[in-house]
Structure 1
Amino acid sequence: MTSLSSRPGTTFEVHPGRGAFNAAFFAVMGPYIEWNVRAHKQRLFADLPRTVVELGSGVGANMRHLAPGSTLVAVEPNAPMHRRLRAAAAADHGVDLDLRETVAEHTGLPDRSVGCVISSLVLCTVADPAAVLAEVRRILRPGGTYRFVEHVAAPAGTPTRALQRALRRPWAWTFEGCSCERDLAVPLRAAGFARVDIEPYRLHSPFVPFNTQIAGTAYA
C-alpha cells in the first residue's frame, strides 16, 4: 500500500488530494501496520547491510530496521511523503538519507551496484511488477538480496478474494493504483533470480483485502 504507483516513463504524477491523504494515512496507521507485520520484517531485515536501497520508502516505516548511521537510498516519487521521510531519517533513526524522486522501474542506479534492496507493500502499486523486478536484478550485485513483504490476492473462491474483487476499484483509487488482486509470487519466481524463498501468511486485521500476504528473499 505504500505509494509507488507509476505511469509509463520515469515520472510520477502526484494527485492533489490522494498524495497528501496517503502521506497522512501512513503516518497515522503506520504503527498499526507495523505491529501486524513486524515479526516478518524483523526476520527479513535483521541483518541489513549499512547501505540499503528501498523501493517506496513512504514516510519511513522501515527505518527502525536500519542500524543508526546506515545509508538509505530511498526511491520514493510521491513528494507529499518526503517531509515525513526526511524527518524520520534525521530525528528518529540517525539514517543518512539519499532520496531519489523517481519510480521503481527506473532507479537510475548503476548496474550491479547494490548489495540489498527492500520493499514492503509496494509491488501492489507499481504499474509493471515484472519491470520493477528486472530493475532490482539489474542493480543487485551477484550475491545481493531483495527482501520483500507484500500483500497478495487471496485464493480463488474464498470470501476474502470476493471482497478483494468487490473493492478493487475504490481501493485502487484511494491508494494510488494499489491492487489487492495480484499474485506476486508468480512474477517473483519468474524474474530470473538465482533463488526465491517465499512464505505466505495471513493477517487478522480490519483491512480484510490486505490480509493475505507473502514475505521472502530473492537472491541475485
Structure 2
Amino acid sequence: MSNFLGRALGAALLTRATDGAEVYLVRHGQQVRAGQDSPESMAYDAHLSEIGWKQAEAVSRALAGVGIDAVYSSDLARANDTGKAIAAHYGHEVIVDARIREVGIFRDVPGEQSFEQAVGTERALEASRRMVETLTWDSIPLGEGSAEFRTRVHSAIWEISSRHSGQKVAIACHGGVINAFLAEEYGLERDFLFRPAHAGITRVRFGEDRAVMLTGNEITHLEEEDLLTF
C-alpha cells in the first residue's frame, strides 16, 4: 500500500515533525466558591481552594517530565498559582498575560451586585435558557461578547506559540479560554465544546498556519489521586 495517505495525514494533522510549538493548555485548580448573592467581582478572581492547591500540585507532577520550556498564566489568582506550581519543577518564572484571563461573563455588572440583582430574576432565567439553546456567551447580558473574547484569546495563544517554535509551553488558564481557542481555530460557532476538568490538560500542536488538538482534557493524574472535579 502506498505511503501517500500516511504522509499526507501526518502533514495535514501535524503528527509528523514540526518546528511549531507544543502547548499544554491547563485549566486552573478548583477555586473557592463565592456565596450565591456575593458580588460577581468576588467570584471572578477567586483563589484556589484546598482541593485546588492539591490539583495544581498533581498537574505539576504530571508535567514535570515532559520538558516544559516556558510557563504562562492569566493574571487571575487561580490560574497564576496553578502556573507557579508547574513552573516550580523547572525553575521557571511564570509569564503573566492578561489576554488569557477568563471570559468577562459578568464584566459590566455593578461592583457590589450579583448578576440576578443587576438584571432581575426573570431576565437571569431567560439568559440561562438562551445559553443552553445557543451555547454562546452572547446570550448573557452585561458581559464580554463571544467575538471579543475569542479574538483576544486566539491571538494571544498564537502569539505565545510563535515565541517558542520547537519548544513546549504550559499555559495555565481557564475552561472558557481553552474552549474559545479551539472553537475559533476550528471555525465552530458554539463557544461550549467540552468542560475541562480542574487542572486537566489539553495538548495543542502548532504548525505554520494551523493548530491541531493532540489530546483533550487529560485527567488520569487527577483520577489517580481522587482529585477530579469540574
Same fold (TM over 0.5): no
TM-score by length of 1: 0.38
Q: Say which structure is richer in strand.
A: 1
Greater CA radius of gyration, 1 or 2? 2
Higher RCO (C-alpha under 8 Å, 6+ residues apart): 2
Q: Say which structure is richer in helix.
A: 2
